[in-house]
Amino acid sequence: MCYLIAKNNQGGSSLAIQMMHGKELAKFKQEILSELPQDGVQLLTVSRPSAYTEYEPFCFLDTPDHFAQEVKNCFS
């Protein structure tokens, strides 16, 4: 398992979701990035969000659809 983190380059809280590594995660990230401004958001995959304090505070979401919608709402 890993966590996908979305961070606004302008600051503020980060969105996070727990996911499985693999092709589905890579495709999911590409889909999200294709719909956002190129310089507005940073997506990264980490094993332990607590090790990345520079991205805190985290708002953990439950479903990929909810995560994608919140990223689009917050970072578009």
Confidence of residue 68 (pLDDT cuts 50, 70, 90): very high
Domain with 11 in it: 2-75
32 sits in the region (left: phi over 0; alpha: psi -120 to 50; else beta) called: alpha
Structural domain count of the chain: 1
pLDDT tens string 10-49: 777 899 999 999 999 999 999 998 888 777 788 999 999 9
Distance CA 4, CA 67 (A): 9
Contact 27, 62 (CB under 8 A): no
pTM of this structure: 0.89
